[in-house]
């Protein structure tokens, strides 16, 4: 009976810690103000054939941000599940990443866990983390650019750190494209040629003022990989 009582007590303590941790994370994210939540669902296709789905979930308050992504993709008898999360602070359009984690099924080879300066109380920013973003924070930085035409997302260079790989993703307007006035199409390439060239389209959202990723496409040995937006829900916490 004593062992059972101690086990119940341990379970209760762990449950309490989990609940308090979740509450603290929510309060830190909200920072006493309402937070905007943007959730988009995407379809992943390879050579025109649907091979999976992805969900991008962004929570944005005046001082904090959180971006999560989950994807389930299967192609050529292989199935991969991906879970990613980025946390950081915000001052207007300026984002400061604190922690990035991405886990892919199939072992630790596809997993990334990066603690940026500030999250661990580091007195000095390590050189490899100076002025860089994780992929999800970089995506949010682009989405927060002003919605006026001169400042749309296709005019930027994003320094990105993904595990041990660091690259500069340069976004430029795609020439001679016919698209609705609310959509801009960018050519994206890595100046160091570590990442494949991509086409990224953004759709302008006015409430909140935000650029949604409309689609991403790039070439693979098995055909063109396309990630296309299906639907988006916007709400407030």
Same domain, residue pair 65 and 165: yes
5 prior amide bond cis, ω within 30 = no
223/206 same-domain check: yes
Residues 106, 131 share a domain:
yes
Residues 115 and 84 in one domain: yes
Could you say which DSSP state residue 194 is in?
-
Same domain, 13 and 79: no
Do 7 and 108 lie in one domain? The reply is no
Quick check: 155 and 142 in contact, CB under 8 A?
no
DSSP 61: -
Q: Nearest CA to 214 among 233, 224, 199, 225?
A: 199
Are 113 and 134 in contact by the 8 Å Cβ rule? The answer is no
Q: Do 1 and 91 fall into the same domain? A: no
Whether residues 12 and 55 fall in one domain = no
106 with 132: CB under 8 angstroms?
Answer: no
pLDDT digits (tens), the chain, 237 positions: 444 444 444 434 444 333 334 334 444 444 445 899 999 999 999 999 999 999 999 999 999 999 999 999 886 667 889 999 999 999 988 999 999 999 988 655 668 998 886 544 555 667 777 789 999 999 999 999 887 666 678 888 899 998 888 888 999 988 876 667 788 899 998 877 777 889 999 999 888 889 999 999 999 888 999 999 999 999 988
User: Do 150 and 232 lie in a common domain?
Assistant: yes
Cα 227 from Cα 41, distance rounded (Å): 10
Q: How many domains does the chain have?
A: 2
Residue 15, domain extent? 1-30
Which CATH number covers residue 210? 2.50.20
Do both 124 and 102 map to the same domain?
Answer: yes
């Amino acid at each position: 009976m004593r062992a059972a009582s101690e086990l119940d007590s341990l379970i209760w303590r762990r449950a309490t810690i989990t609940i308090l941790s979740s509450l603290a994370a929510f309060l830190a994210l909200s920072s006493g103000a309402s937070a905007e939540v943007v959730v988009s669902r995407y379809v992943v296709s390879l050579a025109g054939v649907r091979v999976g789905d992805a969900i991008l979930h962004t929570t944005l308050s005046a001082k904090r941000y959180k971006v999560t992504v989950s994807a389930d993709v299967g192609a050529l008898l292989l199935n991969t599940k991906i879970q990613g999360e980025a946390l950081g602070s915000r001052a207007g359009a300026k984002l400061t990443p604190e922690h990035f984690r991405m886990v892919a099924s199939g072992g630790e080879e596809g997993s990334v866990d990066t603690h940026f300066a500030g999250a661990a109380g580091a007195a000095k920013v390590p050189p490899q983390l100076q002025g860089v973003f994780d992929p999800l924070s970089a995506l949010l930085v682009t989405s927060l650019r002003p919605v006026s035409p001169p400042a749309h997302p296709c005019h930027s260079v994003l320094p990105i750190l993904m595990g041990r790989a660091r690259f500069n993703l340069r976004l430029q307007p795609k020439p001679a494209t016919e698209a609705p006035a609310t959509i801009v199409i960018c050519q994206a390439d890595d100046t160091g040629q570590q990442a494949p060239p991509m086409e990224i389209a953004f759709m302008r959202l006015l409430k909140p003022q935000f650029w949604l990723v409309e689609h991403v496409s790039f070439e693979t040995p098995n055909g063109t990989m396309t990630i296309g937006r299906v639907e988006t829900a916007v709400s407030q916490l």
